[in-house]
């Protein structure tokens, strides 16, 4: 049952659709999952809200809190600083929910390095990589946003190639979901979550029942 509290880290290149999958997951299972809102130094995009999509802050303030050891992960992405605080994760866990984190591959590497040094407070996260069916499809999605300059699109595509390469290396992630068709990708993601979290919950309940039955039998034998 301890797996119920393990954070779920969902990663993937910009434009792959991980945000869409996460929003669908949170919308369908609001009692099971909570989103860990990250901090960023980039300006808000149209429609983004403070404290819901991100905590928007300055580089100086965010760096000071990172230096103070308040962050599970942090990374510089597309010239902006991003990070997830321990407080943001604990807030979701304290509600009895699985904490979902949306972080890029640099953030994943940051978490893994911190875990190797024993600095992640025994969170033991699960890592899921959302992969595009091809880099060509990813480029089409990025250009379809029409929210970024050409140089930004080129930079994101360059980073995406490296991220996809890392994502497909065996052992780097616990699960890879290819987002070619949204509904299919979502079913794959939910199936993995059900297997990793809730099948373990059922096994834990069965073990508890067996322990109770064993204790009752021993009590009867003593009589």
Residue of 59, 124, 143, 145 marked active site? 145
pTM of the model: 0.79
Average confidence (pLDDT) over 158-178: 96
pLDDT (tens digit per residue) in 76-121: 887 899 999 999 999 999 999 999 999 889 889 989 988 888 777 6
Distances in Å between the Cα of 201 and the Cα atoms of 91, 126, 134, 174 are 21, 16, 36, 19
pLDDT number for residue 145: 75
143 is catalytic: no
Residue of 23, 45, 161, 187 marked active site? 45
Average confidence (pLDDT) over 10-24: 94
Q: Which of 2-16, 31-45, 203-217 has the lowest mean pLDDT?
A: 203-217
156 is catalytic: yes
pLDDT (tens digit per residue) in 62-85: 999 999 989 999 988 878 999 999
The pLDDT of residue 3 is above 90? no
164 closest CA partner among 136, 126, 127, 131: 131
pLDDT number for residue 198: 80
Write down the residue that tokens 């149209």 correspond to. 46
pLDDT number for residue 1: 37
Write down the residue that tokens 């902006």 correspond to. 80
pLDDT number for residue 201: 54
The pLDDT of residue 222 is above 80? no
Instruction: Compute the distance between CA of residue 146 and CA of residue 149 in angstroms, rounded to an integer.
Output: 8
pLDDT (tens digit per residue) in 173-186: 999 999 999 999 99
pLDDT number for residue 117: 80
Confidence band (pLDDT; 50, 70, 90) for 23?
very high
pLDDT number for residue 88: 93
Asked whether the beta carbons of 89 and 99 are under 8 A apart, the reply is yes
Q: What is the DSSP secondary-structure string of 110-143? A: HHHHHHHTT-STT---EEEEEE-S-HHHHHHHHH
């Amino acid at each position: 049952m301890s797996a119920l509290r393990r954070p779920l880290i969902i990663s993937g290149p910009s434009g792959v659709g991980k945000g869409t999958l996460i929003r669908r997951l949170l919308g369908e299972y609001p009692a099971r999952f909570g989103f860990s809102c990250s901090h960023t130094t980039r300006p808000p995009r149209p429609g983004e809200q403070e404290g819901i999509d991100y905590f928007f802050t300055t580089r100086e303030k965010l760096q000071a809190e990172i230096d103070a050891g308040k962050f599970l992960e942090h990374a510089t992405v597309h010239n902006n600083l991003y990070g997830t605080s321990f407080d943001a994760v604990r807030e979701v866990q304290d509600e009895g929910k699985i904490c979902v984190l949306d972080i890029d591959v640099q953030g994943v590497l940051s978490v893994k390095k911190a875990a190797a040094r024993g600095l992640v407070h025994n969170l033991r996260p699960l890592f899921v990589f959302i992969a595009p069916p091809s880099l060509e499809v990813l480029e089409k999605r990025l250009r379809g946003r029409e929210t970024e300059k050409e140089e930004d699109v080129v930079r994101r595509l360059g980073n995406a190639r490296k991220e996809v390469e890392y994502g497909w290396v065996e052992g780097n992630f616990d699960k890879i979901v290819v987002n070619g068709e949204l509904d299919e990708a979502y079913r794959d993601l939910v199936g993995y979550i059900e297997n990793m979290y809730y099948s373990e919950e059922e096994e834990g309940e069965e073990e508890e029942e067996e322990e109770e039955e064993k204790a009752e039998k021993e009590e009867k034998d003593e009589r």
